Amino acid sequence: MEAPGEEEKVMLSFFRDGFYKDFIVLIVLTIILGAVFSSGIAWALDSYFGDALDDMIGEYGEYDVILHIREESKDAAMRELERIAEQHFKGARLSQTLTIAGQANFFFGLPEECRTRDILENIASYFGGVPGLNGYTLIIEPSILIRGVHSGVRSELQEQIEAIPGVEFAFRDGSNMIVLLTDEEHSREVSARVEEILAQYQIVELRFPMGFEVDTQQVGDEAINIIKKMAPGRRYSNVTSAEYGEELDAFLKTLVEMRDFLMSYASKVRITVDPNVHLAVGEQIAVQGTSGQELEPTASITDEHVLIEVTAVYGDMAEGMITRGSIAQSIDKLVQKGYGVQSDGVITDFVGEVELENERYRLAYAISESLRLLEELDELSVQANAAVDNADAVLNTFQEALMQLEVLQVQMRQLNDGIAKGGTGSTGEQLLVTLLLNGLFQSLAQAAVNAGEGSIDSLENLDIEEMRTSLNGISEQIANVQDIDVQAIIQQIEFVRDTLPNLEDEEIGQSIRLINTYLGGQVIPGERIQILVHDGSVDEKEIEKTLQVELDNPYLHTYSTSVGMVNPDARSEIFRILKEVRAIVAGMLAIIYTGVILVLDHATIFSTLKYIRAARKPVTNRWLRIFDPIKILGGSLGALILFTVYQLSRAQIPMVTPPMIALCGFVIGLLIAIFAERFSPVHTKEIMAGQALGLSNVQIMREIVIPAGRPGIMNLLNRWKQQF
């Protein structure tokens, strides 16, 4: 059994004859250089990004607002901003910076006298008319940003915050509150004080599932009374925010309407369920669709098949919705055989006849036919108007002819009477006139018979005026039709046709599913009541059960939120991130540096130590093999260098604690000690020659090992002491 001190002796003798001084200097210098290296590079990166940031967003406090403008409007926006600056903010600073993703950004710095609460709270009203404005971000400095300030406590908070020394004023920016400071140096203490103030409040939120109609005032008051009994000594008020609820209601109504529209717009699917099949809502059915492929049980469905989800079952009838694929563009009903489909896409048995009606195509067809009708109607009215005019003209002609006939009849009678009175003896001329007149009258009489009247008297009986009135009525109606702006109707129907969603059945089906998911309460919370707790807090989970019982609603849940959250402003946030990045980079560099320096310098020492030890008596002690002094030295050295460099360079890797860093250094050092000969092999023959020539360890190191070793700090330091 070997003396346990032999190993230590090897190491001690190695360092004892003078090399320990070199070694100590090496370690100190390694640590100092490591800290300078890690923090220097990290600082350079930090500085570079900081400068780049300053270039991008200006110096601290230089600008107060970033205006986000659509790229195509930036020229117009610049002119308008210059006008606004001239009109409202004389002396304002304006600068255009980066354009990112089609959005140009303009910086606007308010003159000192314009940095008032009124202006800042109403900043949107000044810039609302800027062409292409997509929004703005306040970057006023020095400031503290409080996010998500509840409207129920905003005024109270503002009053308290403005009383804090170092606060110039606080103002609202949407749901946030910005606390403007008199000086940046107050930032830390004001932040702390604001957090203290915020901590005095708590919002307890009572959430009800979707579908519950709650009178938020009444139930809120009831809840407050219950909570008061459970947690007395605090003040409570119902601060349920209406804004959010109303917006949500409107959104939900829109969703419901949209879903109903989509359901009516989707193809109708009716399933006549086979008597041997029990169909349930949610099951999948496949039909052939437009593909020529017959469905075969046990086969898998293809992309060309149509997949239907059963949405309702009424005895032997069911309804469904197409969730994949589309059916033919036809107004006719399509009947196909439906087969069940497993979740893995395998077709199962026949489930029934499926009737499919393409409602979208029918609607489009109806609109198209309506447009044709309207175009015909326009033409028809014109032609009808011309027909009425013609009829009226015919009537006038007829009336005039009738009057002339009556005059002719009278004149004939007079002529006949005159002839009769002229002499007893008929002459041949008289006889001829009489015969002609009789013939004429007979012809006229015959004409009247042909007209259905039987005589001129009957022609006179025709109600021409009545006919004219009727024609006038028709004419007026035609005029009324012509007054209708058929073209406008056509345009609007065309507009409706064009604006109808161009959706396939599967898109409609998926959208309906998604809307149902939302409406089912999986995404959107239901009704809620918010109770503000002053001067303390309550355990919301403790009161939840009591509220469930007392308010008779087992689905009620309670949550606790703060009335606001202190956030560093955007710039500080960026700098904080940069600082974090710097610390992470420093940490990574410290680790890399430790590894490299251990390989370049210390691995040589470990290799030499191992060689020297090998010439001694071999280690037989099991514990010494486990707790090998060279490995322990390597680990300790790694831990020391990494830990110290890490701390000195102010490195900080998230989730990594200083003991973990020391452990990491130990592991690196240990590994390098184990594999030292591979990392840094030494010339053992030269070392042996040095030993044989009576050189001390320090001389061997300085004159043989280090000069032939890897270039590093040790090599550099050694040059001062090296004689050959």
Binding residues for another protein, rule: CB under 8 A, are 13, 16-17, 615-618, 683, 685-686, 688-697, 699, 703-704, 707-708, 723-724
Cβ distance to another protein smaller for residue 505 or 703: 703
Q: Is the Cα dihedral 335, 340, 343, 346 positive or negative?
A: negative
| Shortest distance in whole angstroms from residue 5 CB to another protein | 15
Which whole-number Å values give the CA distances from 91 to 113, 114, 118, 682, in the listed order? 10, 10, 18, 72
Comparison of 314 and 724: residue with beta carbon closer to another protein: 724
If DSSP codes are grouped into helix, strand and coil, which group holds residue 143?
strand
- Distance between CA atoms of 691 and 141, rounded to whole angstroms? 70
Q: How far is the CB of 615 from another protein (least distance, A)?
A: 6
Q: How far is CA 438 from the centre of its chain?
A: 101
Q: What angle, 0 to 180 degrees and rounded to 10, lies between the N-to-C axes of helices 359-421 and 486-499?
A: 170
Compute the least distance from the CB of residue 607 to another protein, in Å.
17
Tokens of 66: 């970033």
Closest distance of CB 1 from another protein, Å:
13
Angle at 649 between CA 185 and CA 669, to 5 degrees: 155
CA 597/CA 30 separation, integer angstroms: 8
Choice between 558 and 604, CB closer to another protein: 604
DSSP 343-397: TTSBEEEEEEEEEEE-HHHHHHHHHHHHHHHHHHHHHHHHHHHHHHHHHHHHHHH
Q: Nearest approach, Cβ of 707 to another protein (angstroms)?
A: 6
Find the shortest distance in angstroms from Cβ 694 to another protein.
4
Query: Which pair of structure tokens corresponds to residue 108?
Result: 């606007």
Burial class (CB in 10 A: 0-12, 13-18, 19+), 337: middle
- CA dist 28 and 684 (Å) reads 28
Q: Which is nearer to another protein, 111 or 707 (CB)?
A: 707
Closer residue to another protein in complex, CB, 399/715: 715
Within 10 Å of residue 271's Cβ, how many Cβ atoms? 25
Q: How far is the CB of 13 from another protein (least distance, A)?
A: 5
Q: Which residue has the tokens 């039987």?
A: 454
How far apart, in whole angstroms, are the C-alpha atoms of residue 221 and residue 217? 6
Closer of 720 and 724 to another protein (Cβ):
724
Nearest Cα to 602, choosing from 563, 564, 641, 567? 641
Closest separation in Å from C-beta 662 to another protein: 34
Alpha helix segments (H runs only) across 484-569:
486-499, 505-519, 540-550
Shortest Å distance, C-beta 614 to another protein:
10
State which residue, 234 or 683, has the beta carbon closest to another protein. Answer: 683
* C-beta of 289 vs 690, nearer to another protein: 690
List helix spans (H) across 231-329: 242-265
Nearest to another protein of 430, 696 (CB atom): 696
CB of residue 33 to another protein, shortest distance in Å: 26
Cβ proximity to another protein: between 10 and 515 the closer is 10
